[in-house]
Amino acid sequence: MANYPEIEEKMKKRIAGYESELKTIRAGRANASVLDKIFVEYYGVSTPIGQVGTISSPDPRTLLIQPWDASILKDIEKSIQASDLGIAPQNDGKSIRLSFPPLTEERRRELAKLVKKYTEEVKVQIRNARRDGIETVKNQKKNGEMTEDDVKAAEKDIQKLTDKYIDLAESICADKEKEIMEI
């Protein structure tokens, strides 16, 4: 199999983005990455919550947010309430506590559907990278840089790469669904 680093790099980036997207889906346990998409106004700048304080997990179902500047506690609280996290923050004047309730069966199914949706999206992105790679190869043939046999071999190799990354996405999906359903 010939080496196609630019195509493989695109596919790797798609998988990395997919994995970080899946980390934001809470699976019953408290995980600080669920706060990655929540921003708070801090001195006029929209800032991720993780950059305005310390986030810790004192137990498996709780996150504790301790801002360095206590004056933004109310803003953090409002941002969390406005998000799609679905958890009511508890403000004690020094920190904010988020208690994650156990997931209901219905919520587990919703999260599993969301994981499948993200998986389909990344598979489309991987196939788009394959299409772009094959187009490049065909253009090289047009320009006389490749023979017909080279094109056929390249298409096979690019398809093998595509299959490898689609299998990886499906494996990641299965692991995340298992995690969601187990807890």
DSSP annotation of 106: H
Residue 13's pLDDT is 95
The tens digit of pLDDT for each residue in 72-97 reads: 899 988 888 888 777 888 988 889 99
Residues of the chain with pLDDT under 70: 1-3, 26-28, 183
Q: Which fold has domain 32-99?
A: Gyrase A; domain 2 (3.30.1360)
**Pair of tokens at residue 121:** 């999206």
First to last CA, the chain: 42
Q: What CA–CA distance (Å, rounded) separates 172 from 126?
A: 15
Q: Which CATH number fits domain 5-23+104-182: 3.40.50.300, 3.40.190.290, 1.10.20.10, 1.10.132.20?
A: 1.10.132.20
Q: What CA–CA distance (Å, rounded) separates 95 from 68?
A: 10
Q: What CA–CA distance (Å, rounded) separates 62 from 43?
A: 28
Does the pTM of the predicted model rise above 0.75? no
